[in-house]
Amino acid sequence: MITIIDYGSGNLRSAAKAFERCVREANLDMDVLVTSDPEVVAKADRIVLPGVGAFKDCRDGLNAVTGMRDALQEAVIHRAVPFFGICVGMQLMASRSLEYGETEGLDWIKGSAKALELSDPTLKIPHMGWNELQLSSDHVLLNGLKNGDHVYFVHSYHVVTDDPAHVLATVDYGGSVTAIIGRDNMIGTQFHPEKSQEAGLRLISNFLKWNP
């Protein structure tokens, strides 16, 4: 079972449709379930955490679902269930965010969600639209992806990791912007794979078949 966590943040139907499509096209025997039930999440085979908006709002929304953070910790950290964080869901994997003050994250990947700092004053924030991936890892989840693949962003913050090895891909937007992070059984994308057409669907398909 693939669980997409419903905690009041994110375009859940869009994400669910993308995962359902990848399951169908790969002929996988998997169910995709959108849920806010921590007991279901604790027993899941794969977990997806979407997120849009402000980091603190998303963190507070997650905390407001009784038992959800404990269920995530049990599944992702103790059982090593494959985990996929999307947009702010990726930022929540970090130690903290510096958006509107300092807010703690899940602390699964050491680092901070920081505001984009652009060297080109003509570029706009939020960073919105398509950009070209630059892969910095040969991680198995990147199989079939290549430098220059286009993915879709809507964000003003990105994760700056303490360990550069946890950055799997970047894009150039007035400087290097973190696009994909990961370690062990976890991956996160700052872009929206469900809106990123071929490249996004390839990444989702890889995740569905991944056995870290």
The three-state secondary structure class of 2 is strand
Query: Residue 180's closest CA among 211, 149, 15?
Result: 149
20 labelled catalytic? no
Choice among 155, 158, 166, 192 that is catalytic: 192
- β-pair type (167-172, 176-183): antiparallel
Structure tokens at 209: 């078949």
Nearest-angstrom CA–CA distance, 49 and 51: 7
Catalytic choice (58, 99, 158, 194): 194
Out of 22, 58, 87, 127, pick the active-site residue: 87
Query: How far is it, in rounded angstroms, from Cα 37 to Cα 41?
Result: 7
Residues in the chain: 212
The Cα 96–Cα 161 span in angstroms is 11
Active-site annotation holds for 192: yes
Burial grade of 72 (CB within 10 A; 0-12, 13-18, 19 or more): buried
DSSP annotation of 206 reads H
Mark whether 158 is an active-site residue: no
Catalytic residue IDs? 87, 192, 194
